Amino acid sequence: MITRGIGTVAKGMQALIDFEDVTAHNLANVTTAGFKRTNITFQDIMKAQVQAKDVNSVYKNVGLLSNGTRADRTYIDFSQGGLQESANKLDLAFQGNGFFKVRYGDIPDDAPYDERNYYYQRTGNFALTSDNYLVNKEGDYVMDVQNRRIRITRDPDADNLREMNRLDVQKDLIIGENGLIEINNPLFRATLQKIQVCDFMDKTNVSAIGEGKFLPIYGKDAGLYTMADGTYNIQQGMVEMSNANTIQEMLNSINVSRGYESMSKILKTQSDTVSQAISLGNISR
């Protein structure tokens, strides 16, 4: 029993280390476009029932005693990040809910549908391939509402090398709030494909897989669905910034440092107490 305090403090210190790891990750990404900060929750470990004698020498429960705290789980904060204007007409940002559906670049068009070939992202820093397909910075394809790759040319079915099929993206391209892609040129107007927008009913079952990519947690039902018109808002020529706040993360880091220092002092006190008890035990022999 005399060592219980050491174990309790040690668990608390480990929980603070886990908290600091999460905070450091958030701080490292405060300037990363589309980054969503991570939160962490804690739980008590094996609460013990404490009993005491009353005036009649009968033991009664008087409360619970925690045996320490540990990190329970981490989850992603999907709150909105600030929007920053961009000079690129292919930069897209969500105002509110929504994710772009993206297919890995090495998956052929005629491959059988497999959800494992796709992932979801908030970041909309897009570009065009040499044959004018819309891709993200990894070269993976953005999907339309019919689950096809998106090609932005005057005539998507024609030979892209023809001069007449080329498009001045910065001047002629319009992507509406509903994701509809249009060409608006004084000499040529056309409606192209529509970007597919998805969301999750339960975002606590969504995990980050790096580089701003998200997937449902394996074995969990995140409630993936395709969003209907009017339930999302895409802003063209905008970039969503990180939702991590430098000041808040710095405050978290400072509080962790202070808490860790306090627990270190408590641990030393507990350790000294154990040492004294051992010394008294040796003397009494």
Residues 106 and 193 in one domain: yes
Q: Which residues of the chain have pLDDT under 70?
A: 1-5, 45-68, 159-165, 274, 277, 280-285
Q: Which residues pair with 238 in a beta bridge?
A: 85
Looking at residue 51, its pLDDT comes to: 61
Task: Identify the CA nearest to 101 among candidates 198, 208, 240.
Answer: 198
Q: Is 121 exposed, middle or buried (0-12, 13-18, 19+ CB in 10 A)?
A: buried
- Measured from the Cβ of residue 248, the count of other Cβ atoms closer than 10 Å reads 14
- Cβ contacts of residue 177 below 8 Å, gap of 6+? 232, 233, 234, 235
In total, how many domains does the chain have? 2
Residues 231 and 96 in one domain: yes
Measured in whole angstroms, the distance separating CA 84 from the mean position of its chain's CA atoms is 19
> What is the largest distance, in Å, between two alpha-carbon atoms of the chain?
103
Looking at residue 72, its pLDDT comes to: 76
Looking at residue 260, its pLDDT comes to: 78
Looking at residue 285, its pLDDT comes to: 58
Q: At what angle do helices 246-283 and 4-28 cross, to 10 degrees?
A: 160
Measured in whole angstroms, the distance separating CA 267 from the mean position of its chain's CA atoms is 35
Residues 113 and 165 in one domain: yes
Residues 115 and 177 in one domain: yes
Residues 125 and 230 in one domain: yes
Contact 169, 133 (CB under 8 A): no
Residues 228 and 168 in one domain: yes
- How far is the C-alpha of 40 from the C-alpha of 112, rounded, in Å? 38
Handedness of CA 120, 121, 126, 129 (dihedral sign): negative
Residues 124 and 52 in one domain: no
- How far is the C-alpha of 125 from the C-alpha of 141, rounded, in Å? 12
Looking at residue 280, its pLDDT comes to: 65
Residues 194 and 263 in one domain: no
Residues 100 and 52 in one domain: no
Residue 129's domain comprises 83-240
Task: Identify the CA nearest to 235 among candidates 81, 9, 132.
Answer: 81
Looking at residue 160, its pLDDT comes to: 58
Residues 27 and 97 in one domain: no
Task: Identify the CA nearest to 12 among candidates 60, 65, 70, 66.
Answer: 70
Tokens of 116: 């494992």
Q: How far is CA 126 from CA 116, 132, 135, 179, 236, in A?
A: 22, 12, 6, 14, 11
Residues 93 and 51 in one domain: no
Return the amino acid letter for 171. Answer: K
Residues 265 and 187 in one domain: no
